[in-house]
Amino acid sequence: ARELRAEVGLCSRGGGECRGELVVHELDLASLSSVRSFCQQVLQEEPRLDVLINNAGIFQCPYMKTEDGFEMQFGVNHLGHFLLTNLLLGLLKSSAPSRIVVVSSKLYKYGEINFDDLNSELSYNKSFAYSRSKLGNILFTRELARRIQNTGVTVNVLHPGIVRTNLGRYIHIPLLAKPLFNLVSWAFFKSPSEGAQTIVYLSTSPEVEGVSGKYFGDCKEEQLLPKATDDLVARKLWDISEVMLDQKEKLLTRVLNCKSIIQFRHFDYMGATFCKAHASSALGSGLEFFWILKGRDCDAGQESKWKLMTATDINQLHRRGIKHDLKAKMTGMRFTSPELYKTSGPQPEIWHKMGQKLNELSEDL
């Protein structure tokens, strides 16, 4: 880190020639396929990765969706970086000591993680959506720091302050007010170079060697609001992010706010037959989840499939399969690990029983 910082400083002052070569690859964080393609190129071409800076972002845009159906700000600012970091984490570990730097914002203070509507399907406020994504950055950083302890990789998060960039291109400023706004921005906003100082500091400074999971501003550690230090919420957000990205093949995947089945198919995996469904949900129509079956072949899987789709009684849940009734009365069911489960309203007993069955079956498999 000391050598890298010295070289960065020397080059920025024009006092030396930078070693190495600038290589550019296309990366669109609004496209999961683009993220995967980019990471594949990096893993194929680069023998090591010393620093990963998650800096890209979109700010207070009108409601729109990413290529994969996620609300744009949550998809780009949180999910895109979540996938990027996880796909490159192996290379970072093999390159240790290495660092991950996450760029958040002071506006996280106005964000709330609403697990019932992460994808803003029910309502959308562009300001709150941005703040939520920035709060997500901080929670992601804290949970990642917990997961990568003792690996030689550190991760920290920062706010750069208000910087004069085109990040605010979606904010409408009346024509008559633009001269005043420009004057204020030049007087009080940071230049891009000034805004990058904390990023460079966390990437290269020996002062933060071994420091992980912390929040910085102006090259100093700062305190977070309690909602940004809730480890339970951080773990649940991580878990749900994995489900939304379908990044990890799991024997049991959480089911959130399912409304209707769009597509259904089955496949064999690890000696058991699985039924895989695409469902319409508050997280978007791309959500995938699994029915776990005990059938050992396709015929058994098909038989269980119809039993599951037609069963209407909780007593029909058995070790051969788990039935999810996605019709009227069962709309809105949720399953997750007990320690991660939170709800603002009462939990119907039938949901609780089905959740227990899911947990029992996942442990059995």
Task: Mark whether 270 and 153 lie in a shared domain.
Answer: no
Task: Mark whether 22 and 73 lie in a shared domain.
Answer: yes
Judge contact between 80 and 29, C-beta under 8 A: yes
C-alpha pair distances (Å), 16 with each of 10, 11, 171, 199: 6, 5, 40, 22
Q: Are strands 98-103 and 153-159 parallel, antiparallel or unpaired?
A: parallel
Task: Mark whether 224 and 270 lie in a shared domain.
Answer: no
Q: Is residue 228 part of a domain?
A: yes
Could you tell me how far CA 145 lies from the centroid of its own chain? 14
Q: What is the 3-state secondary structure (H, E, C) of 126-182?
A: HHHHHHHHHHHHHHHHHHHHHHCCCCCEEEEEEECCCECCHHHCCCCCCHHHHHHHH
Pick the last residue of a domain from 249, 279, 307: 249
Residue 156 has pLDDT above 80, yes or no: yes
269 or 22, which is more confident?
22
Number of structural domains the chain divides into: 2
In the block, tokens 């920035």 appear at 134
Task: Mark whether 134 and 281 lie in a shared domain.
Answer: no
Task: Mark whether 60 and 151 lie in a shared domain.
Answer: yes
Q: Is residue 40 part of a domain?
A: yes
The H or E element spanning position 103 is: strand 98-103
Task: Mark whether 198 and 111 lie in a shared domain.
Answer: yes
Minimum mean pLDDT among 21-30, 205-214, 331-340, 350-359: which range?
A: 331-340
170 or 272, which is more confident?
170
**Token pair listed for 250:** 């799991």
Residue 272 has pLDDT above 50, yes or no: no
Task: Mark whether 50 and 179 lie in a shared domain.
Answer: yes
In the block, tokens 């409304």 appear at 259
Judge contact between 115 and 336, C-beta under 8 A: no
pTM score, whole prediction: 0.64
Q: Is residue 354 part of a domain?
A: no
Q: Is residue 147 part of a domain?
A: yes
Judge contact between 84 and 35, C-beta under 8 A: yes
Tell me what the mean pLDDT of segment 37-59 comes to.
93
Q: In this structure, what are the phi and psi dihedrals at residue 83, rounded to the nearest 5 degrees?
A: -70, -45
Q: In this structure, what are the phi and psi dihedrals at residue 156, rounded to the nearest 5 degrees?
A: -135, 160
Task: Mark whether 235 and 264 lie in a shared domain.
Answer: no
Residue 316 has pLDDT above 50, yes or no: no
Residue 172 has pLDDT above 70, yes or no: no
C-alpha pair distances (Å), 162 with each of 64, 185, 194, 196, 218: 25, 9, 10, 11, 11
**Token pair listed for 147:** 């997961």
Catalytic residue among 63, 110, 130, 170: 130
Task: Mark whether 235 and 269 lie in a shared domain.
Answer: no
**Token pair listed for 152:** 């030689």
Range of the domain at 281: 260-332
130 in catalytic set: yes
End-to-end Cα spacing for the chain: 45
Task: Mark whether 199 and 289 lie in a shared domain.
Answer: no
Residue type, 268: D
Task: Mark whether 199 and 267 lie in a shared domain.
Answer: no
What's the mean pLDDT when you consider all of the chain?
71
Tell me what the mean pLDDT of segment 135-146 comes to.
97
Q: What is the dihedral of CA 216, 217, 220, 225, to 10 degrees?
A: -60
What is the per-residue DSSP string for 254-285? Answer: --BSEEEEEEEEEEEETTEEEEEEEEEETT-T
Pick the last residue of a domain from 203, 225, 249: 249
Q: In what order do the strands lie in the sheet with 287-292?
A: 258-269, 272-281, 287-292
Q: Treating both helix axes as pointing N-terminal to C-terminal, what angle do 81-94 and 32-45 enclose, rounded to 10 degrees?
A: 10
Residue 322 has pLDDT above 70, yes or no: no
Residue 362 CA to residue 347 CA, distance in Å, equals 21
Minimum mean pLDDT among 88-92, 217-221, 234-238, 287-291: which range?
A: 287-291
**Can you give the CATH number for the domain in which 37 is found?**
3.40.50.720
Task: Mark whether 187 and 291 lie in a shared domain.
Answer: no
Residue 334 has pLDDT above 90, yes or no: no
